[in-house]
Amino acid sequence: MLASKSSYDNSHDIRIHRFNDALDKFLELIDERATNKNFQTALPHLDANLLDSARKQFVFHLKDAIKMEKDRLVDSYTLRDRLAELEYLTQEADRRNEEARQRGVATSTLYKDAWRSNMDLNTTLRAPEIPQRRQRLTEMEEEWEMLEQEIAEERIKLQKSVELEEQRRNAARQALNSLDETLNGLQTSKNEEVRLHSTLNMLMQGLGPRGIA
């Protein structure tokens, strides 16, 4: 008798949860590596005041991209259905193994595919998938390269954005310094103010009405 389906209805969900937990642990490694010190080493020109904000933004976008790719892979591989089928097959294999043990016969005579008695379980699970897995592995490598390229492009954009912001800050700082110098220059003594008015009057007289116009 085959294993009851009710005994493995939720097993694939448990496996998905474990998969998500493993991914979360992997993402924690990104936090451990993406420290301010490492970021400062990678981007020495980055303003210290902007370093932490830029680091958090980069890590957030990287994690989000990885999670989205994980969801896409789960859907494209129909992992939930495949895990349910795998759980069914493993339970059936365990049942047959236990039956063989109780009967005292070699497990090889019962350790067969759940539906085809002339094919062993290992061949059933692995052999038909090898060509597709090779092709998918190639596709995943290409997708990973594209993802790395996108991350590199986002990093360049982030660097340019940070550099532009730094240029704006420098321009604003220079403008404020110029304004301070101008204000300091306007704070003249009364004698200097009189001389300034006298000089302006002489210039106006020299230019005449047409020159003023």
Give the pLDDT confidence of 45-83 residue by residue, as tens digits: 888 788 888 888 988 999 999 999 988 888 888 888 888
Please classify residue 15 by burial: count the beta carbons closer than 10 Å to its beta carbon, then call 0-12 exposed, 13-18 middle and 19+ buried: middle
Domain count across the chain = 1
Q: How far apart are CA 213 and CA 210, in angstroms?
A: 5
The total number of residues written for the chain in this structure: 213
Return the number of other C-beta atoms located less than 10 Å from residue 141's C-beta. Answer: 10
DSSP count for the chain of H helices, then E strands: 7, 0
**Dist. CA 37–CA 32, nearest whole Å:** 11
Listed range (109-118, 121-130, 145-154) with the worst mean pLDDT: 109-118
Highest-pLDDT range among 22-36, 117-131, 197-211: 22-36
Range in 21-30, 91-100, 117-126 with the lowest mean pLDDT? 117-126
CA distance 84 to 207: 96
Q: Three-state SS for 4?
A: coil
Cα(103)–Cα(92) distance, integer angstroms: 16
| pTM for this prediction | 0.37
Q: Provide the residue range defining the domain that includes 107.
A: 5-212
User: What does the block give as tokens for 174?
Assistant: 């220079």
State the pLDDT at residue 66: 92
pLDDT reading at 188 higher than 60: no
